[in-house]
Amino acid sequence: MSGPLVLVSNRGPVTFDEDGGAQRGSGGLVTALTGLASHREVRWIASAMSDGDAEVARTHGGRSFSVHMPGGGEYHLRLVVSDPQAYDRFYNVFANPMLWFIQHYLWDLSNAPDIRREEIEAFEFGYNVVNEDLARAVVDELADEPEPVVMVHDYHLYTLPDLVRRARPDVFLHHFIHIPWTQPDAWRVLPSRIRADIFAGLLANDIVGFHTRSYRHNFLQCCRDLMELEVDFERGVVYFGEREVWVRAYPLPIDHLATRRLAQSERVHDFEREVQRRRRDFMILRVDRADLSKNVLRGFSAFDLFLEQHPEVHERVTFVAQLMPSRTDVPQYAEYLERIEALVAVINHRHGTPDWMPIQLKLRDDLEEAFAAYKLYDVLLVNAMFDGMNLVAKEGPIINERDGVSILSENTGAHEELGEYALSVNPFDIQELADSIDAALTMDPAERRRRAQGLVEIITSRDPGDWIDEQLADIRRKPMAKSH
């Protein structure tokens, strides 16, 4: 493997506005991969998601161009424009909600989903079309590469690997999935033909990577039970035709140095003063995309219950919830946002006083504002129903300055690493969550410190460079391993 690394994902490292201004792409995937530029030469292929992206792609004639990242580093980026209707079906119908909901157990199966023509066509004329568009760009980008390696990212691109493999049988394909992999029955929602296409696409990879051992296990189980393939759970191998597909767990670390650097920026300090000014004795914080999987409503219901059961803390505690609106063209997400606002209004009305608003809801995507709050929380609440990793659980503790306690859902990927030093909760158990808020706020200072230090130690023990190195080591090792 000598050439540059080719990355392909739906969301790219930056999005452009109509005036050509670049903003860092949001979410865990971008956070994970942006550190890579300093690690080795990378060519990143992504969808043009906004009108500004499409404009920039056209300006560069659909070819790659160099981008300087807002936080440093340089990428060669190629933005691929798909037909808008196909892209809408891909993103707003099939990837979200269909796959996202399957992979977070979000479907309320007695009510939804109905699989009709709309969903089938969203797969055929949306999901597949965008995968084909990106696959063509990948193949083009590999034209002169002697030993091409492509790293594919996430659930948007399950059918792409097979397309690339057909065009370039010599390619090494590594696919990392940033979200949970659910157990076989969750996948039975999909018509078997679509399911088969998804698994055939994924099994065209050489390696499929997940954040945790349990997602790896679920994937192997799906290959065995849904696709009737031979699998080796111990070695993490699926035997697919003549090929072996390795299935691995690579838990994603955060770039703790960059995170701490950003925490010292002037803008973060400005926000900090504002947070200090408004805070009461205790501050509970959550920072999330406004996504159903994050379990925002149960978090507020637990706080409501906590206030009901602990009148002694009234007027002394505030719950700051910074939620970034996300995927708002998907009806389920738009409705979720409305339910969040309505519930906050009810709780604030129920417990609030003329000068105390128990929940402060900030519906915006502002990393520096979130970082200021990270520094000052007493309790960090991460109660996702299911979450691939959850980087908030890693970012908060390493810049918090108050020995804040983490309340962490046992169904997040981060729990496999951090559970020992967090207060673990079952995300569906509202009473347990309310009790954990009380336990966190009344915890002995020495115990708070012990837990906070334990979290910092684990989180700072690896960085994204290690994460990539582990994957690259397997990429080098696999061709040398004896094939089945």
Q: Minimum Å distance from CB 390 to ligand F6P?
A: 9
For the stretch 437-441, contacts whose Cβ atoms lie closer than 8 Å and that sit 24 or more positions apart, written own/partner, are 437/284, 437/302, 437/303, 437/306, 437/379, 437/381, 437/407, 438/306, 438/309, 438/310, 440/378, 440/379, 440/405, 440/407, 441/282, 441/313, 441/317, 441/378, 441/379
C-alpha–C-alpha distance, residues 362 and 324, integer Å:
8
Q: Is the CB of residue 180 less than 8 Å from the CB of residue 388? A: yes
- Establish if 89 lies at the interface with ligand F6P (CB under 6 A): no
Query: Of the two residues 29 and 263, which places its CB atom closer to ligand F6P in the complex?
Result: 29
- Establish if 295 lies at the interface with ligand F6P (CB under 6 A): no
Query: Of the two residues 313 and 392, which places its CB atom closer to ligand F6P in the complex?
Result: 392
Q: Is the CB of residue 223 less than 8 Å from the CB of residue 237? A: no
Q: Is the CB of residue 217 less than 8 Å from the CB of residue 249? A: no
Locate 156 and state its tokens: 């948007």
- Strand-pair category, 405-409 with 423-425: parallel
3-state secondary structure 234-246: CCCEEEECCEEEE
- Establish if 290 lies at the interface with ligand F6P (CB under 6 A): no
Question: Whose CA is closest to 474, among 248, 257, 316?
Answer: 248
Of the candidate residues 78, 327, 394, 415, the single one contacting ligand F6P (CB under 6 A):
327
Query: Of the two residues 96 and 128, which places its CB atom closer to ligand F6P in the complex?
Result: 96
- Establish if 184 lies at the interface with ligand F6P (CB under 6 A): no
Q: Minimum Å distance from CB 258 to ligand F6P?
A: 17
Q: CA dist 215 to 181, 209, 411, 462, 472, Å?
A: 5, 9, 11, 21, 20
Locate 459 and state its tokens: 């989180």
Q: Using the CB atoms, write b or e for 402-429: b if 16+ within 10 Å.
A: ebbbbbbbebbbbbbbbeebbbbbebee
C-alpha–C-alpha distance, residues 263 and 270, integer Å:
11
Selected range binding ligand F6P among 25-33, 112-120, 124-132, 300-308, rule: CB under 6 A: 25-33
- Establish if 251 lies at the interface with ligand F6P (CB under 6 A): no
Selected range binding ligand F6P among 20-28, 204-212, 401-409, 415-423, rule: CB under 6 A: 20-28
DSSP, residue by residue, 380-399: EEE--SSBS--SHHHHHHHH
Selected range binding ligand F6P among 21-29, 203-211, 297-305, 374-382, rule: CB under 6 A: 21-29
- Establish if 27 lies at the interface with ligand F6P (CB under 6 A): yes
Q: Minimum Å distance from CB 324 to ligand F6P?
A: 9
Query: Of the two residues 180 and 358, which places its CB atom closer to ligand F6P in the complex?
Result: 180
- Establish if 28 lies at the interface with ligand F6P (CB under 6 A): yes
- Establish if 52 lies at the interface with ligand F6P (CB under 6 A): no
- Establish if 397 lies at the interface with ligand F6P (CB under 6 A): no
- Establish if 13 lies at the interface with ligand F6P (CB under 6 A): no
Contacts of 458 (CB under 8 A, 6+ apart): 417, 418, 421
Q: Minimum Å distance from CB 359 to ligand F6P?
A: 24
Secondary structure tally for the chain: helices H, strands E: 21, 18
- Establish if 64 lies at the interface with ligand F6P (CB under 6 A): no
Residue 143 backbone phi and psi in degrees, to 5: -40, -50
Q: Is the CB of residue 254 less than 8 Å from the CB of residue 465? A: no
Query: Of the two residues 182 and 326, which places its CB atom closer to ligand F6P in the complex?
Result: 326
The 98-137 site mask, x for binding ligand F6P (CB under 6 A), equals ----------------------------------------
The 142-181 site mask, x for binding ligand F6P (CB under 6 A), equals ------------x-----------------------xx--
Q: What is the number of other CB atoms lying within 10 angstroms of the CB of residue 442?
A: 9
Q: Is the CB of residue 314 less than 8 Å from the CB of residue 355? A: no
- Establish if 11 lies at the interface with ligand F6P (CB under 6 A): yes
- Establish if 29 lies at the interface with ligand F6P (CB under 6 A): yes
Q: How many residues make contact with ligand F6P (CB under 6 A)? A: 11
- Establish if 26 lies at the interface with ligand F6P (CB under 6 A): yes
Query: What do you get for the CA distance between the two ends of the chain, in Å?
Result: 23
Q: Minimum Å distance from CB 9 to ligand F6P?
A: 8
C-alpha–C-alpha distance, residues 381 and 409, integer Å:
9
Residue 25 backbone phi and psi in degrees, to 5: -65, 150
Q: Minimum Å distance from CB 333 to ligand F6P?
A: 10
The 361-390 site mask, x for binding ligand F6P (CB under 6 A), equals ---------------------------x--
Selected range binding ligand F6P among 23-31, 78-86, 292-300, 428-436, rule: CB under 6 A: 23-31
Q: Minimum Å distance from CB 100 to ligand F6P?
A: 8
- Where does this chain bind ligand F6P (CB under 6 A)? 11, 26-29, 154, 178-179, 326-327, 388
